[in-house]
Amino acid sequence: MKEQQAIFFSPHQDDELLTMGISILKHGGCDSHVVLFVDGAQSGVKRILRNGRRCAWHDNWHLYPLTISSFVSARDSEFRDSCVALGISDSNIHIDSLRPTDGIIDVKTAKKVMMEYVGRFPGACVKTLTPYAGVRQHPDHKALGLAAVELYGEGVIKDLELFCEPYYVDDFREANPGITLYEHELDTEDEAIKKRLQKAIDSYRKWAPAEKRYAIGYHSVADYFRSLETNPRAFSHRI
């Protein structure tokens, strides 16, 4: 019996791993797709990479004034490598060249994109971030969640799973006492799957300027990646 397809909608480069990576790994042989929504151009790491200071983490100087297109391309490389490490085939990684920049995506736009992919892969279960993670949640994350919830209510999405960012779990539980949040753990006895997770994390930690790789994800939220390494978990709920 063929496994159900899954479409993972990720707002930014790294959300596919930090919030939904355990689920992507567990899907294994399922024909999964990952869709990246925004370009990630607004990240403050652009300033960090050109500030002229020495970085104790990778023992190098930050002297890289990247153009916006170069910065986005570097972020996309991290994202692609992460997805492949998690088991997504290259043809199932979707990055629209006309995608919006961070912070401006709205529910209407998100619904339009989601409807396109749901139409292309009918019957697929949809997985994205919950819109209920609290007041600190990024607006792009919230917009995707709200779009998915509306499409579910309209009957466009038949099977929906919403993931809470691990770093907002306490906020979620406080704000939503009536919603059960399920915890997904990785089988840490499975050496192969542990290596795949580590390889995905390393995609965001790769520092190789000669190869146009600047560890953007790790410069941005190193603590989140370390937490995923030491305690690999994901949290989700249903409506």
The pLDDT confidence band at residue 26, using thresholds 50, 70 and 90, is confident
Q: What is the pLDDT of residue 2?
A: 53
Average pLDDT rounded to a whole number, residues 157-168: 97
Mean pLDDT, rounded, for 46-70? 95
Q: Measure Cα distances from 133 to 37, 139, 174 in Å.
A: 19, 11, 9
Read off the pTM: 0.96
In this predicted structure, the answer to whether residue 3 has a pLDDT above a threshold of 80 is no
Predicted pLDDT of residue 1: 44
* Residues 119 and 33: beta-carbon distance below 8 Å: no
Q: Are residues 212 and 199 in contact, defined by beta-carbon separation less than 8 angstroms?
A: no
C-alpha distances in Å from residue 156, one per residue of 96, 99, 212: 22, 22, 40
- Predicted pLDDT of residue 98: 83
Closest C-alpha to 187, from 227, 234, 221: 234
Average pLDDT over the chain, rounded to an integer? 95
Tell me the pLDDT band of 30, cut-offs 50, 70 and 90. confident
Query: Percent of the chain scored above 90 by pLDDT?
Result: 90
Asked whether 17 and 84 are in contact (CB, 8 A), the reply is no
Rounded to whole angstroms, how far apart are CA atoms 226 and 232?
10
**Residues 80-106: pLDDT tens digits?**
999 999 999 999 999 987 899 998 999
pLDDT band for 187, please (50, 70, 90 cuts). Answer: confident
- Where does the pLDDT of residue 29 fall: very low under 50, low under 70, confident under 90, or very high at 90 and above? low
**Which two three-digit tokens encode residue 222?**
């190193």
Q: Domains, the chain, ranges and CATH?
A: 6-237 (3.40.50.10320)
Cα–Cα distance, 101 to 53 (Å, whole number): 27
- Among the residue ranges 29-38, 70-79, 195-204, 208-217, the one predicted with the least confidence is 29-38
pLDDT at residue 188, as a whole number: 75
Per-residue model confidence (pLDDT) at position 63: 96
Question: Which candidate, 206, 168, 223, 165, places its Cα nearest to that of 17?
Answer: 165
pLDDT digit string (tens) for 113-162?
999 999 999 999 999 999 999 999 999 999 999 999 999 999 999 999 99
C-beta of residue 164 within 8 angstroms of C-beta of residue 129: yes
